[in-house]
Structure 1
């Protein structure tokens, strides 16, 4: 057991049958490459992490479970906004990712608990949390695993607790993938998307509201686009030069505006 930022970190085996997913999220490097693209070129008036934090409607004293937190960007981006009375447990299924989150949050002037958690088997008692976040997590699970995860989330939430589950739409960043369609395609992770997430959540929750984050990217450099694609499964590093040339041509022809499709479901009851 390992102490970090005032909390407890424990290791559990998670999603061992999915080697590709484990490789993708062994640490924060791929995730960081994707976030750089949005941070550099977004036209929104705030970051997605700030917007997601704005969606919380919780008491000053709240128990919060953050599933699939990656390197903790939601909490680092909003470190000075977290109420003192919140007890936040930051989790991911990857031990490497959890170490990255612990390091990122080490200098934040508050305590967090850390745990490596499989969303299909959440190791906490019934009715524990006022809120659970599952941002960009559920789309990575197969249908049966996603059903199990949602059942577990409902179990650990208090009767009046709320799930916040962010995801993308099936056409998110479509212009990027269209520009390089000959080299690869969007990862097939649309099992839980803005278009179909509500129906799945209603199996466990009486009230489900979809909220959309309005954003588009105005891209002026090709290099972050290439780094983004190479962080995804299905794109080969040997194509990096051709990918960069394709994007450079696209940017040179016109203002390369890429629509985002991102939002969050707020589920309760």
Structure 2
């Protein structure tokens, strides 16, 4: 009987840094780099399999992140974001079997780079108004959708939340609680689609001890980094993510 576990050394060579990066991103930079995890792991396995393997890891990271930032989130903003994000995950579940994950990744990458270009070429003034609610609803629903398909929900929602100019702690805490709800909502559809099989879950358990390490490092960074540096790092993460996702889509 074959042990139900991925044993390919190359898979772990890309999965270990991907999980650590995901933990640092989710607990330190509001998922700025986190969308790189699935594309990195997709070098060794398919995108749906990489997404399924990360499900238990994400759950543990979300719980640890919420515990660390339980007093720092913006409840009013969450009440707006969560329903919109859940609409996106529902659409993702219904269309999952019809979509090519790389096409979705390419679209997310393109719009991520477009958002960054807009911020660079037309920087907002300190007194500029926040984005309209309709745009926030659209971007948040897109975040739920791309999160379901490839765990790439960070760039769309960041495009809405970044202009709100939250403090680093409030930004990270709010997205930590948002993605906990979004990721939790994906368990039943993922099981229904047959992605949560024994081999993927056994592989996930091997990677699970890395989750607290990444989260611990991210929390320390979030509590010590200044606001200007925080957003510079966040933009850098979104740029790398956008380039990688766009490259995957064009391939």
User: Which interval holds the TM-score relative to the shorter structure?
Assistant: under 0.3
TM-score, normalised to structure 1's length?
Answer: 0.27
TM-score, normalised to structure 2's length?
Answer: 0.28
| Structure with max Cα Rg | 1
**More strand by proportion, 1 or 2?**
1
**More helix by proportion, 1 or 2?**
2
